[in-house]
């Protein structure tokens, strides 16, 4: 369902010369994430909340080629909280044929509503995927301590930064055939692990959020570093927690 704006009013939401405007930022960040191998093959995405509006990268698009005109804009105040199969309220829908909203939409809303996040990033990072395969099959979370990059991660993704001696813990949920069906599993993990800054999805990737897009980006980078370090430590049979 679309809210009633004129065509020009709707288009003005994604037109700006300001590089900090969400429509421009999403395009720039997706290009950067593509170069890192995080959003290849059209997978992954990002959503930024800007006031009462939510800017959303489209689904099924080459992420390094997204343009502001491809961005969806939704009101944060939805008629109902987005969930699998639910109808969303839109302020702007791209005119480009074949574009659809990201399948991650209800998962992004988990971050917005449960953590009051300002941005949420989803990547298909190989480091995140490999980590979930190297940990024991029954592992419900990933834990790590005594690594400098932990200091770039925030408690709950939106609180104070962790310290070198703190133990980072990120829950792991099982993958589903359809992305939207991860919504409740993610929400349940967020309730069970309120201090977690992200959610790992086994054989899939990771969701990371922050108060702002800058914090979400910073934490995504720090966590990816830690995931890579953890995979190497596991292969070398080194403990992930402690300073041995």
Please tell me whether 204 is known to bind a ligand.
yes
**Which residue blocks in the chain are alpha helix, DSSP H?**
7-12, 22-35, 105-114, 126-134, 183-192, 213-235
Question: Radius of gyration over alpha carbons of the chain, in Å?
Answer: 18
Please tell me whether 222 is known to bind a ligand.
no
Please tell me whether 122 is known to bind a ligand.
yes
Phi (first) and psi of residue 243, to 5 degrees:
-115, 25
Please tell me whether 7 is known to bind a ligand.
no
Residue 112 DSSP SS3? helix
In the residue annotation, 148 being an active-site residue is answered as: yes
Instruction: Name which of 209, 212, 213 is nearest 122 in CA terms.
Output: 209
Report the DSSP beta bridge partners of residue 74.
54
Here the tokens at position 2 are: 């679309």
- CA–CA gap between residue 237 and residue 240 (Å, rounded): 9
The active-site residue, picked from 20, 28, 148, 214, is 148
So which residues are the catalytic ones?
148
Sequence ranges of the binding site for Zn(2+): 122, 124, 204
């Amino acid at each position: 369902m679309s809210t009633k704006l004129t065509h020009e009013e709707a288009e003005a939401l994604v037109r700006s010369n300001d590089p900090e405007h969400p429509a421009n930022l999403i395009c720039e960040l997706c290009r950067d994430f593509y170069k890192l191998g995080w959003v290849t093959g059209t997978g992954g995405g990002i959503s930024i909340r800007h006031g009462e509006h939510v800017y959303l990268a489209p689904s099924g698009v080459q992420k390094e080629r997204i343009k502001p005109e491809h961005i969806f804009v939704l009101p944060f105040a939805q008629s109902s909280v987005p969930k699998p199969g639910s109808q969303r309220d839109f302020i702007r829908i791209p005119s480009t044929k074949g574009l659809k909203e990201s399948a991650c939409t209800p998962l992004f809303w988990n971050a917005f509503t449960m953590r009051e996040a300002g941005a949420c990033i989803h990547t298909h990072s190989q480091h995140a995927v490999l980590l979930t395969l190297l940990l024991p099959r029954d592992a419900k979370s990933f834990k790590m301590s005594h690594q400098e990059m932990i200091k770039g991660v925030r408690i709950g993704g939106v609180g104070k930064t962790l310290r070198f001696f703190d133990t980072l813990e990120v829950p792991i949920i099982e993958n589903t055939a359809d992305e939207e069906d991860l919504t409740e599993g993610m929400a349940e993990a967020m309730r069970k692990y309120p201090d977690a800054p992200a959610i790992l999805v086994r054989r899939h990737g990771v969701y990371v959020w922050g108060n702002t897009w800058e914090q979400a980006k910073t934490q995504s980078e720090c966590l990816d570093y830690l995931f890579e370090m953890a995979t190497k430590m596991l292969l070398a049979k080194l403990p992930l927690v402690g300073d041995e």
